[in-house]
Each structure stands twice: as C-alpha cells, then as structure tokens.
Amino acid sequence: MSGGSDVADTTSLSCARCGKPARLQCPKCVELKLPREGAAFCTQDCFKASWSSHKAVHLKAKLSSLGTGTPHEQNSDLLNEDWQYCLKRGQARTQKLPHFDWTGKLRPYAISGRRAVPPHIELPDWAADGIPKTEPNSDLQHVVEIKTPDQIERMREACRIGREVLDAAARVIQPGVTTDEIDRVVHDATIAAGGYPSPLNYHFFPKSCCTSVNEVICHGIPDARKLEDGDIINVDISVYYKGVHGDLNETYFVGNVDEESRRLVQCTYESLEKAIAIVKPGVRFREIGEVINRHTTMSGFSVVKSYCGHGIGELFHCAPNIPHYGRNKAVGVMKAGQTFTIEPMINAGVWRDRMWPDGWTAVTADGKRSAQFEHTLLVTKTGVEVLTGRLPSSPNVFPWLNA
C-alpha cells in the first residue's frame, strides 16, 4: 500500500470496502495503471479484508493485456501471484501445464488461492484440514434417514440460499468472464447469506463451486479461463447452513450456442424433470435411472454411469445412491421424509469418462459435450417437494420454459 501524492485528489476517493474517505491505494493497481476508483482504501485493515476479492481486479487486467493464446501462455505471468495448476485432488500445485492425453479442446488454466471464510460462519468438519470426519463412518451411508421436521425446515433454508446463490452466478455468465470470477460471486453470495460453500476444501477441493465447461462432465475447478461464445457451462452449488446442506446445479449457454448443444442441455433438463415427476412414497430408487435413460436414449444421447445422485442432509453425501442409467441395481424404496439429489449427467457422445491430472475434473472420453442439472428433493406423503426449485426471480435463461 502507498499513500497518494496529491492529498486533495486522494481525499475525494472513497474506500472500496466501507465507503469512508480513502488516502491509501493498492500498490498492484498503481503498478498496473488501473483506475484509482475501486483501488483506494481508508486503512490497511480494510485493504487486507478486501484482498481475497480485490485481487480479481488484477487478474482481469492481466488477462486483458495477455489477450488470446494457449493456457500456459495466458497463465505464465499469473504464476507469480499464487496462480498455479491444481494436482492430486487439490493437495498439490505446479507452475507447468500437466502432460495429459486431452480428450477435447478444453485445457486447465491456473487457479487462484483459497478464498477466506469469516470467523462467524459455521464450518463443516472438513473446512480446516480437508478431511470429512463424520461422513465416511456414519450409519447413514447404509441407512436412508427419515428427516425430522426441524431438519426439513433447516434444509428448506439451506436450499433456498443455494438457489439464490446459483441465480447470482447465472447472472454473470457471459463471454469474457472467467470461471474464477463465477467462483468469487458464489463464494461472496454464500458468505453474505450466512452459509459456507460446502465444496470448499471438501476432500481438498480448492474452490467454492464446480464449473464444468463443454466436455467436462462434473467437478470442474474454477480457473483463469475466460468463457467463450458458444460454450456451455454447468455451475454446481452446495451450501452448508444451520448444520445441513443444500445441493443444486444448472447448465447455461454462453452467447450463441450450436443446435446440438442446445438439444443436449434441454434433454438433460427434461430428463431431470421426468425423474422428479415419479418421486413419491413406494417408488423404487432404481426407477429414476430407467426414466432418465429412456428419455436420453430416445434423444440420441448417453447417460454417465460413473457418478450418481445421493442422500443429503446433515451429511453432504450419504445413502441412498441414485444411479441415473437404466438397469441399475439401486436398492430401496422412497419414503416420506427422505431427502436426496437427482443430478443426471448426459453426454452428446459415449457415456464413458476420463479424469484430468487435477484428480477432480471428469471429462467425456471422446471430447464431446456433456450437460447436467440437479435438484435436492424431499419425499412428501403425497409426492415430492423440490427444495431447490427455481424462484420467480430466477434468471430467464432457458428458452423452452417460455414456450
């Protein structure tokens, strides 16, 4: 931080964090010759508190100056500021683009450092060291829990926050925006609502949401890549609030998208809706996959078999497992009070997947595109309640909903 040389000029600036008169400026913004508005702070404390979000301004400036190029070319200048490639499921970093037999055109870009969580936020048990303690050995990995009225009400609140956070992310999606910026929006909106972004440091996952672009099936890590016209992107949100989790995702169009991608995304949306329509007490969990598989194959697409829906509540992932493909062997029947996710991943080509060197990003084996939608559901006495359902204020981004 450095003080301005022109006292009269600096006193006319307001602190980017609290709005008070500011006399200090971010030295990096000065170096990059960025506008003084938004780079001024009243104290060192305000500067430090704003750093996790403010440094994104530096990234945008650097990416703009770098223009187009390979991921390594665009990232090379960022690596001096903790922007590195992810390895080993988030437990390692490297300054070099990993070697891999990439299946499509997409490549990983460098990722930023871990975002801060204020001390007043309630934390899940993995937040500090990346290791879930309760979840792996819980009896609820084998028994499907019937939620109490109190648990259900808390889940409604967590899921409502998750929906509002996802909607906030959807509003910033456009060509030129980085997935890291989407992650910042998700993180800040979750914290502002009093929640914790469940993915953050879960088994060492380095970010607050998953952003899966084009051939990425799921668990894409937000990074420095700018979204391009014609991309599709899935944003997967999970929120921990009042001791329970809410989980949902949607796939969005970036600019002008080709017709096959539009059909793929709409088919995926419809397959989830058709699956939700059969949820009620007495229905076998395995029937969900039959419904999704039938609609998907009739449209000429394939269903991913490596990842499934899951039970959710005070645990992020628990019983039941919800396969999305046909002829699955899921056991059990639905009962009132159960909560679980349905989240079909549908591929334009073959269903098989491969894992990137980061240990998280699952991509299609043939490099063709993939789409996904997800809701958290509550089985009621007469049917189903979609806890993460769209709101009247949700962005109007899906053309088929206007038909």
DSSP SS3 for 55: helix
Q: Is 358 annotated as a binding residue?
A: no
Quote the CA–CA distance of 236 and 341 in Å, as a whole number: 12
Q: Which residues contact 155 (CB under 8 A, 6 or more apart)?
A: 147, 244, 245, 246, 312, 313, 339, 376, 378, 387
Q: Is 142 annotated as a binding residue?
A: no
Q: Is 375 annotated as a binding residue?
A: no
Q: Which residues contact 160 (CB under 8 A, 6 or more apart)?
A: 246, 387
**DSSP per-residue letters across 224-250:** SPBP-TT-EEEEEEEEEETTEEEEEEE
Q: Is 183 annotated as a binding residue?
A: no
Locate the DSSP E strands across 168-231.
196-197, 210-213, 216-218
Quote the CA–CA distance of 297 and 48 in Å, as a whole number: 53
Q: Is 295 annotated as a binding residue?
A: no
Q: Which two tokens stand for residue 395?
A: 């962005």
Q: Is 77 annotated as a binding residue?
A: no
SS3 for 291-311 is HHHHHHHHCCCEECCCCCEEE
Q: Is 374 annotated as a binding residue?
A: yes
DSSP state of 130: S
Quote the CA–CA distance of 262 and 29 in Å, as a whole number: 40
* Residue type at position 17: R
Binding residues for Zn(2+): 236, 247, 310, 343, 374
Q: Which residue positions form the known binding site for a protein?
A: 219, 317
- Per the annotation, binding residues are 219, 236, 247, 310, 317, 343, 374
